[in-house]
Structure 1
Amino acid sequence: MQNKIVEAMPLTVRRAIELIGLYFLGMIIIAGQDILAPLILAFFLAIMLLPLYRWLRRRKLPDMLAIGLSLLALIIAVGLLVWFFSAQLTNLMSDFPVIKQNVRLHLNTFSQWISERFGYSTAKQTALITDQNEKLMNVATGWAQGAASSITGILVFVGLLPIYIFLLLYYKNLLIRFIFLWFPKPDHAKVEEAVRESEIIIKSYLGGLLIQIAYITVLLGGILLVIGIKHAILIGAIFALLNLIPYVGALIGNLIGVLITLSSSQELWPILAVLGTIAFVQFLDNNILMPRIVGSKVRINALATIVGVILAGALAGISGMFLSLPIIAVLKIVFDRSESLRQWGVLLGDERPRQSPMRLPILRQKSRKVQDALKRQNDIEPTDPKQVDEKRQAKDDGAGRKEGEL
């Protein structure tokens, strides 16, 4: 009945409703980001804990105990991560006198370069800095107030996470029933497929990210340590975490790596060594390691990724940037299984046609067969068991398609 009502609407009305829905969704995210961010993160973490929870349930443990033990394992893992960073930051702070001396040396060198290059004397530079002191103090005060409120928000965030995770695991069957009741019975097969595939994608993606953090920290930190860079492990760990934010995080990670190296050394070659090592590790990560670990079950195109990260950052801050990619992946799964929203799935995906829709009219359609053909053409692995069998059968039969032939 709902599908018939939607199909009876004029196309312009349906598109207008979609755009209005996107607008109100953005307003809801802005207004409720303090509530939604921990809830969404808790949802992803609960999905990651499902294998451990199910394993404990198969050992005949009570439901509450299985959830509690799964949550305890997560708390221990996070505690070890916090301890690791605390130890690295303590090591950095112990070198504060050397850092202060190196920063002063670099600033003097930079000031001398400006004086020689632009004829702006050191005295004028000092006067300019003195004039800006009051503004800098006002900015620093604002940052301090913002940091205090941020710390409060972080404490609330961390406090809510275990509660949300526990309740999501405890009421998971109720929530799944709620999802099914939103849709008419003929659509339940698609809903089940979307739910199962979303779980696979989330576990594959987030599990791959955990492995990625570990090997980038070890690989980058180990190489820098062998070269002789101070605080190498800290640089590797910071870059590994920031690399979770697509594109933007890598740039910030490079900048922080350079700043830590500058403050720890009076020479120029360590900076070049850090940048070269980061570039080498990124090449291995992007082209060899990460594709093999995460796979290619759902691929988001670079344009959608960059816009999604920036938009999520504008709507929900840093937490939104970290959560943007898995949310986009889940949205793509939902869009691909909805007749009325499939064009949004095409916009987000990486199933790039080799021929223009201007030349091949079949590419202008929302046909599922066309979508599956484009996935095969772009070597995107299916997650549904039936699609996996079809792909294997197609390979066995030698059913390769020519370029542009759908």
Structure 2
Amino acid sequence: MLKPVVSFLELKLHNRILAIFTSYLIAVVPLLTLLFFFFNQSRILFGKLPSAKERIGWLTDQFMDWLDQKFRLDPETSLGWVSENLNEALDIPMGLLQEGFQSGTTVLANIVLVVLMTYFILLYRTAFKNYILSQVNPERRGALEQLFGEVQKLTKRYMIGQGLVIIILGVLIGSGLWLIGVPYPFFWGFLAGFLEIIPYVGTTIGGILPFTYMLMISDTLWQPWAVLGLYVLIQQIEGNLISPNVMGPSIKINPLFIILGLFLGGIMWGISGMILALPILAISKEVFRSFDALAPLSYLMEDGLSRKSSIFMEELDHAKHRFFDFFLKEEQE
């Protein structure tokens, strides 16, 4: 995100260090301000969690009374069991929330480390590039520099495309929630847009949060379910119309690899790893496409794999594309 900004400022300021610090002010400070707004707004909205707990308990009692009358269940047994277990279940997120606030020092320390690492990577980026180029034969350096350019274009397209998707989703979802009568509709809309950065997981959380909130405060049951229906509709529009046209086909990865990437990214780096999973997969696909032995793997990662299954036995059925033959060849040499 910062590299294009730093490169532009270097041309104007003629000093890399000054350009890096200026890029922090231009890009990072507004981003932190935006995050502070979301966290502060969330604190205001969910500041009355105990009353929300009572609200969920009341809704459960009403629902269980209806079930008892409908199916002639034993009121004391069924309602008592559900109420007891529900209270225990609601205590779990409260405990997790308290632990989350207590881990603020660790989060702050990680932010400082990320800022420092980003600074040095931006400062030494030319040396890193030249080192990588020096590790290949001169006749292959042109192709490698071309690959660097393609990766830069890909990351730039991803960042711009993701920003446009966030804005479009924020406006669409916010407008729909406003029509339904949800408080702070555009906060929920843009929160869902930002959570969309994490495929599947973020989408689910973005829909469950306002649904749960309306379940707590609404006097009618149609509003929470209307919120859920709105998110399902918008997700269909986003997946089939918005993202394919805004993000471009080069970033589309098939769902299996996305889920694997989210799983591995979450194990290694937590939430950060889940956010980085999709761009890392997209970059890896572009890199693999540049090497004959890895090209089939890049096609295996593409979206619409079921429609392209014949490509492996037709266009890619050559010795140069066989991954294991590459290692056998190296051993023979």
TM-score, normalisation: structure 2: 0.82
By how many angstroms is 1:215 displaced? Answer: 2.5
By how many angstroms is 1:151 displaced? Answer: 3.0
- Residue from 132, 138, 142 that aligns with 1:185: 138
- State the AA in 1 paired with 2:267: A
Q: Confirm or deny that 1:220 pairs with 2:173.
A: yes
Determine the structure 2 residue equivalent to 1:154. 107
Identity %: 28
After superposition, the C-alpha distances for 1:206-230 in whole angstroms (9 at most, x for unaligned) are 2221222222222211221233112
After superposition, the C-alpha distances for 1:106-136 in whole angstroms (9 at most, x for unaligned) are 1221332343447142465436655897898
CA distance in 1, matches of 2:134, 2:303: 32
Determine the structure 2 residue equivalent to 1:258. 211
CA distance in 2, matches of 1:240, 1:332: 25
By how many angstroms is 1:313 displaced? Answer: 2.3
CA distance in 2, matches of 1:146, 1:220: 31
Residue 162 to residue 131, structure 1, CA distance change in 2 (3 Å)? closer
Q: Confirm or deny that 1:329 pairs with 2:279.
A: no
Determine the structure 2 residue equivalent to 1:380. none
Q: Give RMSD over aligned pairs.
A: 3.3
CA distance in 1, matches of 2:184, 2:26: 29
CA distance in 1, matches of 2:240, 2:86: 46
Determine the structure 1 residue equivalent to 2:45. 92
Provide the secondary structure at the position in 2 that maps to 1:189. helix
- Residue from 220, 223, 235 that aligns with 1:267: 220
> Residues 71 and 166 of structure 1 are in contact (CA less than 8 Å); yes or no, is this contact kept in structure 2?
no
- Residue from 30, 48, 65 that aligns with 1:112: 65
- Residue from 55, 66, 79 that aligns with 2:32: 79
> Residues 285 and 301 of structure 2 are in contact (CA less than 8 Å); yes or no, is this contact kept in structure 1?
yes
Provide the secondary structure at the position in 2 that maps to 1:297. helix
CA distance in 2, matches of 1:359, 1:157: 43
By how many angstroms is 1:93 displaced? Answer: 4.1
CA distance in 2, matches of 1:97, 1:183: 62
CA distance in 1, matches of 2:62, 2:142: 68
Which residues of 2 match residues 3-402 of structure 1 at below 5 A?
A: 48-93=1-46, 99=52, 102-116=55-69, 117=71, 119-122=73-76, 125-126=79-80, 129-130=83-84, 143=96, 147=100, 150-350=103-303, 352=305, 357=310, 361-365=314-318
CA distance in 2, matches of 1:355, 1:238: 36
Structure 2 residue runs of 5 or longer lacking an equivalent are: 322-333
- State the AA in 2 paired with 1:85: F
CA distance in 2, matches of 1:201, 1:140: 39
CA distance in 2, matches of 1:360, 1:75: 48
CA distance in 2, matches of 1:181, 1:188: 8
Residue 150 to residue 186, structure 1, CA distance change in 2 (3 Å)? farther
> Residues 261 and 278 of structure 2 are in contact (CA less than 8 Å); yes or no, is this contact kept in structure 1?
yes
CA distance in 2, matches of 1:341, 1:358: 14
CA distance in 2, matches of 1:289, 1:170: 36
> Residues 112 and 122 of structure 1 are in contact (CA less than 8 Å); yes or no, is this contact kept in structure 2?
no
Structure 1 residue runs of 5 or longer lacking an equivalent are: 1-47, 369-406
Determine the structure 1 residue equivalent to 2:328. none
> Residues 288 and 294 of structure 2 are in contact (CA less than 8 Å); yes or no, is this contact kept in structure 1?
yes
- State the AA in 1 paired with 2:20: I
State the aligned residue count: 320
CA distance in 1, matches of 2:30, 2:95: 34
CA distance in 1, matches of 2:129, 2:105: 33
Larger relative contact order (CA 8 Å, sep ≥ 6): 1
By how many angstroms is 1:200 displaced? Answer: 0.9
> Residues 212 and 290 of structure 1 are in contact (CA less than 8 Å); yes or no, is this contact kept in structure 2?
yes
